[in-house]
Homo-oligomer: A and B are copies of this chain.
Amino acid sequence: MSAEVEAALKRHAGAVDALISQIVPPAGIPHLSEPVRHHLATGGKRIRPALCLLTCESLGGDPAKAMNFAVAVELLHNMFLLHDDIEDGDTVRRDAPTVWVKYGIPNAINAGDWLLGRTYACAAASPLPDAARLELLEILTETYETTCRGQALDINSRGSDPYAVEDYIEMARLKTGRYLVLGMVGGAVAAGCGRTVKDALWELGENMGPAFQIQDDVIDLTLGKGRGGVLGSDIREGKASILYAFALSKAAGEERERLISIMRRAREETSDDDVRWTIDLYGRTGALDFASGFADNLVRQAFETIERLPVDNKEMFRQIARYMIGRKK
């Protein structure tokens, strides 16, 4: 991990957690505090708030002014994960049962809804002038909506045929392009930056978001996601990855049919043999190489965007970008 990002994580962890506990009290709100705290406890290292605060600092701002938005981005992220777990039927997150498994679907939907309300309340309480607070609420809304649109494509792409690489990129751009850099843009707003910096950061996301997502697809086939490094979770889930899109364009006849039928198969009916065969197909058709090359190209574009950033401290942004890409390598 980049030393600067790690330092920012450590430096701000206490204040971030304190504000999270204030916005989502660990107890006292019946049937909401408990499921949301249960979910937040599975939530990792609070990297998103650190990137927001680090960006604000790097752009000459006071990170205290970005703290509310930093936490809002973390809450938004968790709200999406909470609803995603229902939508994807995921039963376990970081070795704990997901909220819908533990508290039922009705409570899980409502807890996610409430968490989004807390997200807005947290962002709206930022210690900034009215115009900046409105801007934060507007980028929050725009990103939230765009991510929902990407999620809609993702939900409905399972075993799609036809399904082109362009369809995948469209989905990935919508789902992650804004989402990944929302905190950074919010940090720039809190630092009082103008349009040029903010537009460059959005552009960074347009490339980094899909790059990040593609890398996730590749890792699933090479190193494995989740517990024990099991390969091919996405194949079992029927997730329409960039590899699926590419292989679909190359395979023909029986192989093509078999690929589609494996992707459409229910998770519990997908055999180890199905997974092995699909990974092999992704290798033979060049899908794996294509995906890696595609991601590398997006990353290259992202670094070019950073070079055009009208700020002195470009190295910090290079480190953030390297950190985003490198964290799973």
Give chain A's interface residues, CB within 8 Å of chain B. 29-32, 83, 86-88, 105-107, 109-114, 116-118, 120-121, 124, 130-131, 133-134, 137-138, 141-142, 144-145, 148-149, 151-153, 155-156
A sample of 28 cross-chain residue pairs with beta-carbon separation below 8 angstroms, ordered by A number, consists of: A29-B149, A30-B153, A30-B156, A31-B153, A31-B156, A32-B152, A83-B109, A83-B113, A86-B105, A86-B106, A87-B105, A87-B109, A88-B106, A106-B155, A109-B109, A111-B152, A112-B113, A113-B144, A114-B145, A114-B152, A116-B116, A117-B141, A117-B144, A117-B148, A118-B145, A121-B142, A124-B134, A124-B138
Q: Which 5 residue pairs are nearest across A and B when measured between Cβ atoms?
A: A117-B145, A87-B106, A114-B148, A31-B152, A130-B130
Instruction: Indicate the member of A32, A112, A131, A145 with the most B CB atoms within 10 Å.
Output: A145
Return A179 CB to nearest CB of chain B, in Å: 13
Q: How far is the CA of A116 from the CA of B119 in the complex (A)?
A: 13
Copies held by the complex: 2
Residues in chain B near residue A114, CB distance under 8 A? 145, 148-149, 152
Whether A120 lies near B141 (C-beta < 8 A) is: yes
Residues in chain B near residue A112, CB distance under 8 A? 113
Residues in chain B near residue A156, CB distance under 8 A? 30-31, 107
Residues in chain B near residue A109, CB distance under 8 A? 83, 86-87, 109
Contact of A151 among B88, B110, B144, B145 (CB under 8 A): B110
Q: How far is the CA of A151 from the CA of B30 in the complex (A)?
A: 10
Q: How far is the CA of A40 from the CA of B158 in the complex (A)?
A: 27
Q: How far is the CA of A145 from the CA of B121 in the complex (A)?
A: 9
Q: How far is the CA of A106 from the CA of B157 in the complex (A)?
A: 13
Return A147 CB to nearest CB of chain B, in Å: 9
Contact of A155 among B86, B107, B133, B153 (CB under 8 A): B107
Q: How far is the CA of A281 from the CA of B249 in the complex (A)?
A: 68
Whether A155 lies near B31 (C-beta < 8 A) is: yes
Whether B110 lies near A152 (C-beta < 8 A) is: yes
Return A119 CB to nearest CB of chain B, in Å: 9
Instruction: Indicate the member of A124, A133, A138, A148 with the most B CB atoms within 10 Å.
Output: A148
Return A15 CB to nearest CB of chain B, in Å: 23
Q: How far is the CA of A118 from the CA of B149 in the complex (A)?
A: 11
Return A3 CB to nearest CB of chain B, in Å: 37
Residues in chain B near residue A107, CB distance under 8 A? 152, 155-156
Residues in chain B near residue A124, CB distance under 8 A? 134, 137-138, 141
Q: How far is the CA of A32 from the CA of B153 in the complex (A)?
A: 9
Return A281 CB to nearest CB of chain B, in Å: 27
Return A38 CB to nearest CB of chain B, in Å: 14
Return A91 CB to nearest CB of chain B, in Å: 15
Whether A87 lies near B110 (C-beta < 8 A) is: yes
> What residue in chain B is nearest A133 (Cβ atoms)?
B134
